[in-house]
Amino acid sequence: MKQNYVKVIGINDESRKDAHLSFVHKADGLKGILSSDFDDWSNFDSWESISVQQWIFSRALEVFRGKKIDIKCDCCEHNDLIPNDFESIKKEKCFGKKSAYMIEKVVDEIVLAKARRESDGTYNA
């Protein structure tokens, strides 16, 4: 993922002036999905809610197209995370950080799909 394109901010944090602000609580059902076990919520294709998948996918498309997004969680008072290392995501409680992780995964899939299309499906990762 492009560095500094996704930032997770808390309830009391201000959004960057050049970023689109997205609220975790406005994605109806997202918290329910992200509350389940890591193996369940980290498998984007298994999500039963199309609207929540669309919310994540829309944020991923914004990042892919070069736009910055700030994800405002409502579980942390302050959070100033610019994701670059999700080593401990399995233990994470913050819905914003989990959302950022999923956005990164979807951006990676978009990049891979684009590369495959551009090379007539012969691209190997």
pLDDT digits (tens, 9 = 90+) for 52-110: 999 999 999 999 999 999 999 988 888 766 555 566 788 888 999 999 999 999 999 99
Nearest to 7 by CA among 67, 91, 51: 67
Q: What is the pTM of this model?
A: 0.85
Measured between alpha carbons, how far is 6 from 15 in angstroms, rounded to an integer? 11
The three-state DSSP-derived secondary structure of the chain is CCCCCEEEECCCCCCCCCEEEEEHHHCCCHHHHHCCCHHHHCCHHHCCCHHHHHHHHHHHHHHHCCCEEEEECCCCCCCEECCCCCCCHHHCCCHHHHHHHHHHHHHHHHHHHHHHHHCCCCCCC
pLDDT for res 89: 85
Q: What is the pLDDT of residues 13-36, one digit of tens each?
A: 999 999 999 999 999 999 999 999
Half-sphere exposure of 109 (CA within 13 A, CB side): 13
* pLDDT given at position 90: 83
Residue bearing the bigger pLDDT, 99 or 125? 99
In angstroms, the CA 68 to CA 103 distance is: 12
